[in-house]
Amino acid sequence: MKRLVIIILLAFLISWSCEDEKPDKSVVSSIVITPNKIILKPGKTEQFYALVIDQNNMAMDADITWKSSIPSVATINNEGLVTAVATGSTEIFATVDAVQGLSEALVSGIRRRVLSELITSST
């Protein structure tokens, strides 16, 4: 009888210790937007992409909310397509939960002037 109890206890302990642990739920750590900076002429479009990274530095799928800080300069749709509207500068945000990625969109009819502004403002 003692032998049967010991076998049952051992079987229970082995089966209990072999249970698969539940994987951690992915949590958004950061968002990287490409392109990082863009220069567009009014009326032109550019596709933006967001890479959502979890706490383990792995890419993950997530529903992204896109937003332009100044929609009168450039708008962005739910798929990340930016449309230049009028001359100016705006920030483009990709948001998942409370985490945001950031990019910059410059809209100008004169490309040469914008390039020089972009270079001098980044130094």
Task: Please report the pLDDT score of residue 109 as a whole number.
Answer: 84
Task: Please report the pLDDT score of residue 62 as a whole number.
Answer: 93
Task: Please report the pLDDT score of residue 6 as a whole number.
Answer: 59
Q: What share of the chain is helix, strand, coil (3-state, %, to 5)?
A: 20, 40, 35
State which fold the 26-121 domain adopts.
Immunoglobulin-like (2.60.40)
Could you tell me which of 57, 55, 23, 44 has the C-alpha nearest to residue 105? 44
Task: Please report the pLDDT score of residue 110 as a whole number.
Answer: 78
- Each domain of the chain, given as residue ranges in start order, spans 26-121
Whole-angstrom distance, CA of residue 13 vs CA of residue 30? 41
Report, as ranges of residue numbers, the positions in the chain whose pLDDT lies below 70: 1-24, 111-123
Local structure of residue 91 (DSSP, 8 states): E
